[in-house]
Structure 1
Amino acid sequence: MGEALLRRIKGIETEYGISCLFDDPSRKPWGPDDIARYVFRPVVAEYASSNVFTRNAARLYLDVGSHPEYATAECDSITQLLNYERSGDVILNDLAVQAEQQLAKQGMPAKVFLFKNNVDSQGNSYGCHENYLVSRSAVLRTLGRQLMPFLITRQLIVGAGLVYRPFLGSASTKYGAGYCVSQRADHVWEGVSSATTRSRPIINTRDEPHADSNLYRRLHVIVGDSNMAEPTFALKIGATELVLEMIEADVALPDLELADDIESIREIARDTTGGTVVRLRDGRTITALEIQRTFHTAAKDWLGQRQDRLVSRTDLVSATPQREFERVVELWGRVLDAIETGDFSAVDKDIDWIIKRQLLQRYQDRFGFEIDHPKLAQIDLAYHDIRPGRGLYSVLLNRGLINRWTTDEAIAESVDTPPASTRAHLRGRFLSAALEHQAPTTVDWTRLKVNRPEPKVVELVDPFAAVDERVDELIAYLAAHPRGEMP
């Protein structure tokens, strides 16, 4: 491949669990179908659809299984993506609060819960999908094979943690109850595949770049957990981006292809020491922690080469500051050291699975609970409740027990304002103009269309372009034909 994309478009798709409990215990709780449709009523009222693009150029919709899903707009830096991912929590929580207010007015006071996790009490899984723009010259299966050892062991540094119990027909029946570093490890069944729901691969190869297909591909990673702690999210995105850069730049990485991807990912998930020994395809053995050490060491070396490339080439741009990647690599090393030594004090405010396990252990020590006690499962779930002041993550954050990576102000700004440095800026401008002029339009990731009086379409195949005269003209046309009427 030879040349790394040092400025990379990326995005996150987050599916939320949803439930509704009425204050009146005699009233049967609503299932996901009922409450999800109720929560989306304001969206349907404004847009006449439950599948829309929002003012910040993100996509909001109801996915299969009545999971509210939020897909961020195109972002080009780690912190920018974090801000827009968190804006989804704000938008969905606001809809949940509105639903509670309406239910109370109708004499049915209730609590609406939205969980940013990846598995429900019945063992059903829903995803957090990462999208990374890569060069068309990259052979996706080859890229996936090189990336796979990193992704399979990545759960050690960025897993969300889970109190798991065996469910009939699930992979966990082989292991019994316990604590798992990853919520998704039991719910992937292939390494690289074009499927998404039927077999749930680690990497999805469906060729939908949402960009110029002659230049780009979209790497679709569906094995990651949804993260609550901001440093965990930043480490997940930043470390993955650095490994992608090294692969694209033909950095010499050792051959660590695993003999059995799926068996390995499940076993690694159940070993918080990182000491799981996995067999490589060539017959050698190595521990999960050693695999992560190999990638981390390479990433530290790559940072120097990366800086040299940026300095020597005026045509190379990095949207994420070099110092932020250095911060990612430093945190990455601290997590690996903590796992190796068993002393987690240096990262127990940064990494979800470690934060959560520490919280659970306090309850176990105080009350003598076994790991499969229902109270611990309740605490596990409450950690992922996105309601400020109610969810345990929020409570711990407010008590200074979880570190920040960004700010509330930056997240709030991202709720209504699209990213300024990518194609999303153009989509956001068009969406705002369409709402202002009540114009009938159609929008997707690459197309902006005015439906009437005369249909006009602009295709945006360059995800890096934040300026386009054609969009200016389209917005002027909207202003000249409010509500799609002839002047």
Structure 2
Amino acid sequence: MKPSLLPAESALPGADRSPATGASEPALRPMGIETEYGMICLGFEGPVDFAFEASTLVRAAEIEPVFRGWDYSHEDGRLDLFGQRHRLARDPGDLADNRRRSAGLSRQELIADTVLPNGARYYNDHNHPEYCTDVTRSVFELVRQDAAGEALLLSCQRVRNAAGLEGQVLVVKNNTDYHGRSYGTHENYLVDRRLDLRFLIGQLVPFLVSRIALTGAGKFGSEGQHADRSVGLQISQRADFFARVSGINTTTDRPIFNTRDEPHSQPDRYRRLHVICGDANRSHYQTALKAGLTALVLDRIEAGHDFGVALNDPVRAMRAFSRDPGLEAVVETSRGRLALLDVLEIYLDAVTASAPGSGERAWIIGQSRELLDQLRSDPSAAADRVDWCAKAGLVAALEDGGEPLSGSELQRLDLAYHYLDPRYSTHLQLVGQGRMRSLVAPEQAGAALRRAPSDTRARLRGLLVARFGGLIEAIEWDSVQLRLGGRGARIDLGAVHSGDIDELSAAAERAADAAALERALARSGLVAFGER
């Protein structure tokens, strides 16, 4: 759930159909994505034990080698960025109605923590199977690692459904079950600890609200406290579920800006910015732009740039913008009444002024600008890269010359878009027809399950799991604890730098056996060994 964050000097080349990062261009900041997947459960008698089903899906992973377990001893989810400690609220609508089968599982069996050879973490979080990419400094590698998670979940669905268990489970990559419950797609970014927190919140919140034009997955109807039967297509799946501007909770009373302080790196130097207001995108382009454009905005904020715009009521603005796919709604701001694309353009203009002319930054800016222009002139032109526009196109085609679709029909159409199973996924049908662009081929996603990003400490974590998983005693985002030669060996991933990561990774690649690994780590002087 909390990808590791550590700067590295080298940047990873872009995806096959995307520009490579230029040699002279600094890489983007470390970033990662964590996705809670939904489950459609069919053919069950009585209430579904969602905890059991989520755990079963995670334990159905057939990839090897993996490390099973997670070190929670250093985690503290109650501390916020202001140094205050909170009691976390719990969503009363959590999927916990039936514990008939899960009650017989141990905590370890229920959570089913699994660390994969690509450095990712896969486990049961709040009764949803969750896949967390390790971090990278390339948006194209991030898309590959996120697509690897989709491939893994689809494989687990097939294994589970072939096992003779009750019912069938279909995995969906979305954010709502249409019964008032929302589950998250969270992003993580490394930011400088010295950055004034109130300045960061003030500058970032209008962007997080306005970026939904480019990053929204879309949905039909509305939910929650402000549900309105007149609402049709929404831009964002998550906009209904936010209640405040900032705060520490993630499952209820949700804030647009999350203040949880778990840096998973050097706490005196870095923060982990945990962004919880994004949507689960099927579009590869939206995943890349969601992370990439946010990273560029953070660059400008860290440089002290004031974007000069504030929303009078960000929560209400997000809801109003999301419920207006015509993009005509205006809200009160410090610059007067502005529409969604007006606010977004303020940010895009600012990052464009500082972006280089080539590499990933230029690609992010170019794609964002092109889509913004299309949304202003003809949103249907963006349907090959933007999920909510694709959904609008599907509805228009189905209703052409006929009766409008009912609310339940629209919801079924929405869910079908987010199925991972190619037999049912309208998104994958659009990809196959050439009507939705893709950045990652299925074989690339499968390969990414076994290959960690090479531009961050993910490389070392993945190598240790892949080559020496049987020697690992404990693992978390900050560290790996090994048992070598009868003594403990702890690698503090929060303290080593990029050159050290390269050295340790090379040692892990060269070592023929445990003894060779022990000698190499001892020579490095970067590993703390215990007594024999």
Structure-2 residue corresponding to 1:228: 282
Checking the alignment, whether the CA contact within 8 Å between 2:183 and 2:251 is kept in structure 1 is no
Which of 151, 154, 161 pairs up with 1:100? 161
Structure-1 residue corresponding to 2:121: 59
Structure-2 residue corresponding to 1:344: 379
Show the 5 A alignment for 1:15-414. Answer: 15-22=36-43, 27=45, 30-42=48-60, 47=68, 49=108, 50-64=112-126, 66-103=127-164, 110-165=167-222, 167=223, 170-174=224-228, 176-253=230-307, 255-280=308-333, 282=334, 284-304=336-356, 322-341=358-377, 343-370=378-405, 372-414=406-448
- Give the AA of the match of 2:39: I
- Give the AA of the match of 1:40: V
Taking structure 2 as the reference length, the TM-score comes to: 0.78
**CA distances 1:322-354 after superposition (whole Å, capped 9, x unpaired):** 33322322222232223322x234312110100
RMSD: 2.9
Comparing 39-48 and 290-299, the one that deviates more: 39-48
Partners of 2:310 and 2:285 in 1: CA distance: 28
- SS for the counterpart of 1:68 is strand
**CA distances 1:28-71 after superposition (whole Å, capped 9, x unpaired):** 5744233223223345997374012111100111001x100011
Comparing 202-211 and 32-41, the one that deviates more: 32-41
Partners of 1:402 and 1:71 in 2: CA distance: 25
Change (3 A) 1:330 1:251: same
Partners of 2:507 and 2:204 in 1: CA distance: 41
Partners of 2:409 and 2:472 in 1: CA distance: 51
**CA distances 1:205-256 after superposition (whole Å, capped 9, x unpaired):** 2121111122211111110001001111112112111111112223452x21
Q: Return 5+ residue gaps in structure 1 as ranges.
A: 308-321
- SS for the counterpart of 1:177 is coil
Partners of 1:43 and 1:328 in 2: CA distance: 34
Deviation at 1:194, TM superposition (A): 2.2
- Give the AA of the match of 2:487: E
Partners of 1:192 and 1:5 in 2: CA distance: 31
Partners of 2:296 and 2:371 in 1: CA distance: 17
Partners of 1:59 and 1:413 in 2: CA distance: 16
Partners of 1:252 and 1:481 in 2: CA distance: 53
Partners of 1:91 and 1:473 in 2: CA distance: 26
Checking the alignment, whether the CA contact within 8 Å between 1:433 and 1:475 is kept in structure 2 is no
Partners of 2:394 and 2:49 in 1: CA distance: 29
Change (3 A) 1:201 1:182: same
Partners of 1:480 and 1:42 in 2: CA distance: 33
**CA distances 1:1-37 after superposition (whole Å, capped 9, x unpaired):** xxx9853100001000013323xxx855744233223
Comparing 53-62 and 236-245, the one that deviates more: 236-245
Deviation at 1:147, TM superposition (A): 1.0
Structure-2 residue corresponding to 1:315: none
**CA distances 1:412-470 after superposition (whole Å, capped 9, x unpaired):** 221111111210111111112333xx335211101111257422211111474532449
Partners of 1:440 and 1:283 in 2: CA distance: 55
- SS for the counterpart of 1:228 is coil
Partners of 1:477 and 1:220 in 2: CA distance: 39
Comparing 47-56 and 232-241, the one that deviates more: 47-56
Structure-1 residue corresponding to 2:84: none
Partners of 1:41 and 1:390 in 2: CA distance: 24
- SS for the counterpart of 1:416 is coil
Deviation at 1:401, TM superposition (A): 1.1
Structure-1 residue corresponding to 2:3: none
Aligned residues: 448
- SS for the counterpart of 1:386 is coil
Checking the alignment, whether the CA contact within 8 Å between 1:433 and 1:479 is kept in structure 2 is no
Change (3 A) 1:127 1:158: same
Change (3 A) 1:248 1:456: same
Deviation at 1:121, TM superposition (A): 2.2
Deviation at 1:301, TM superposition (A): 1.6
Deviation at 1:382, TM superposition (A): 0.8
Q: Percent identity?
A: 30
Taking structure 1 as the reference length, the TM-score comes to: 0.85
Partners of 1:29 and 1:195 in 2: CA distance: 28
- Give the AA of the match of 1:20: C
Partners of 2:182 and 2:142 in 1: CA distance: 24
Structure-2 residue corresponding to 1:424: 458
Partners of 1:182 and 1:331 in 2: CA distance: 20
Structure-1 residue corresponding to 2:33: 12
Checking the alignment, whether the CA contact within 8 Å between 1:9 and 1:463 is kept in structure 2 is no
Deviation at 1:82, TM superposition (A): 0.6
Partners of 2:178 and 2:119 in 1: CA distance: 33
Change (3 A) 1:243 1:331: same
Comparing 182-191 and 385-394, the one that deviates more: 385-394
Partners of 2:454 and 2:120 in 1: CA distance: 13
**CA distances 1:103-150 after superposition (whole Å, capped 9, x unpaired):** 2xx6x5x53211110010202000110111111211233212101111
Change (3 A) 1:477 1:144: farther
Checking the alignment, whether the CA contact within 8 Å between 1:140 and 1:205 is kept in structure 2 is no
- SS for the counterpart of 1:40 is helix
